[in-house]
Chains A and B, each alone.
Chain A
Amino acid sequence: MIEIKDLSKTFPARGKDAPVEAIHDLNLTIRDGEFLTVLGPSGCGKTTLLRIIAGLEPWDHGSISIDDKDLRGPGPDRAMVFQSFALLPWATILQNVAFGLDVRGVSKKRREERARELIDMVGLKGFENRLPGQLSGGMQQRVGLARALAVDPEILLMDEPFGALDEQTRRLLQEELLVIWEQSRKTVLFITHSMEEAVLLGDRIVLMSPRPGRIVDIVDVPLVRPRASAVDSIEGSAEFASITSDLWQRLREMQTFRRHHHQDEPAA
């Protein structure tokens, strides 16, 4: 369980730009085994929040604890999947998937064994000795996912992982992610700017708004689990449509509010 209390982070002023309050007084509890999606427009702080939880970014106020232990930098209990895939271009797929284990000092034999398991799980058997440059975007992200799962983290942190992919690949990977997740039920924190994706994948949706970054609402997604085998019928259902359009209303209101609000603000 991840407990975040009164979290605040401000990026200091740079040159002529004013300081940016990325996150303001954020409170959130992430339950074990839940698939939590974070949705919001650019600049709402969702990526910053993820990075802080990953241990990549310090924060200014507030506390974060995982299973009652204070967060201190990156750790073996969390693994991240990146929007840009972040694969080492000079290393083979096998080496890339084994990367997290390698850094932790796992023996070559064991880590390669584990890597092969995961490469198979994400459907890339046979590609172990290729280089990332020889793979398509969707395949590269599967490698990224395999790498994250290889270290068997309790928490999976996913930063708009399908954002750089075309729509068909995205949909396939969403389904595949559900299949994989439903087998292991890890805690997942999934950042997205797509409402459909947030509803399809998540148990709860955290809606964030920018300037300053804060949680506006947390929406439950009452769609049944497991969903992997029923993706098409879910997406066609009335329930899905109503939750999605409700979210879109909220997001739209955020934009309108900002537009009106800015008329009263002095020029930044």
Chain B
Amino acid sequence: MSSVASSPGVTRGGGLTGRPRSFSRRVADSPWLYRLASVAVVGTLWQLSAMAADSIFIPTFTATAGAVVELIARSDVWEAFWLSNEALLFGFVSSVALGIPLGFAVARLRGIEPLIDPYLTILLVVPMAAIIPLLIMSLGIGMAARVVIIFLFTFPIIVVNARAGVRQVDQNLIEMATSYGATERAIWRRVLLPGSLPPIMAGIRLGLGRAVTGMVIVELLLTPVGIGGLIHESRARFQSAELYGVVVLVVVEALILISIARALERRIAPWARGTALSD
């Protein structure tokens, strides 16, 4: 990898002359214009097809937008979100706290991998929706059950990315450290941990997505509390705009969380580009 040291005179998109870009150029280059444009396009298509369908089950874009505004004003909606997110918090944090060390152990200690690997694969691959009723029978339907299920959704991807993170550290760096007299502990501290940070952060970001999915699915299948409860309710009362509205809010929450995770990723590991297992 070799790149010439950047010089301060050249700005991105400045082209051959190196002039700073004009305002209109910067607007054209910025991703926000395209994001707004694509939302506008989707919104319009949605509105038109919903109006054409004219069905009680398909709310229009404007109706949904209105519902979102109403929902945000309701305190029971915030309570529901808080209840669901409590489980998300516990499930996600415990996944990360347990998953990263396990991933390290599997990467570095030979014997463990064949023991752990089958279970990881199963957890990643099995359709959770089918397994959840099974888990309910043993765990009941309280907070504990929801936390455990969110944990099962999130844990394997954290482990897998932590393991991959350690594995993808350049062997030359480990050798270099050894040649300069680093002990196993020093190699961990100075090479393996910093080196595996980018994939670990990516794993956290992906795990977050899965955790949110788990959070909602559990409530839909299990017990109508929190967000799942709101969805149940809206469906039962044929309030389709409200239903879509709740879904939009969940999506927005997930996007916010994932953006935070991405920003953290960039701050913590500025030297890396896209090293996640599945992006």
| Chain A interface residues (CB < 8 Å from chain B) | 54-56, 74-76, 78-80, 82, 84, 86, 88-91, 99-100, 102-104, 127, 130-131, 133-137, 139-140, 151
Contacts and interface: CB of A to CB of B under 8 A. Distances in A.
Contacts, number: 73
Given A79-B180, A84-B170, A135-B3, 17 more contacts: A79-B179, A82-B176, A86-B176, A89-B271, A89-B272, A90-B197, A90-B271, A99-B180, A103-B180, A103-B182, A103-B186, A104-B180, A130-B5, A133-B3, A134-B3, A136-B2, A140-B2
A56 B179 contact: yes
B195 A56 contact: no
B194 interface: yes
Interface residues of A, dominant DSSP: loop
Contact of B179 (A54, A84, A127, A139): A54
B172 interface: yes
A56 B271 contact: no
Q: Which residue among A76, A130, A134 has the maximum number of chain B CB atoms within 10 Å of its CB?
A: A134
A137 B2 contact: yes
B250 to A, nearest CB: 36
B170 A86 contact: yes
A86 B172 contact: yes
Interface in B199-238: none
A100 B3 contact: no
Contacts of A54: 179
Given A103-B190, A136-B3, A80 B176 contact: yes
Q: Which residue among A54, A88, A100, A136 has the maximum number of chain B CB atoms within 10 Å of its CB?
A: A88
A135 B271 contact: no
B180 A131 contact: no
Contacts of B4: 136
Contacts of A135: 2-3, 5
B76 interface: no
B178 A56 contact: yes
A103 B5 contact: no
Interface string B168-202: 00101101111111100010001100110100000
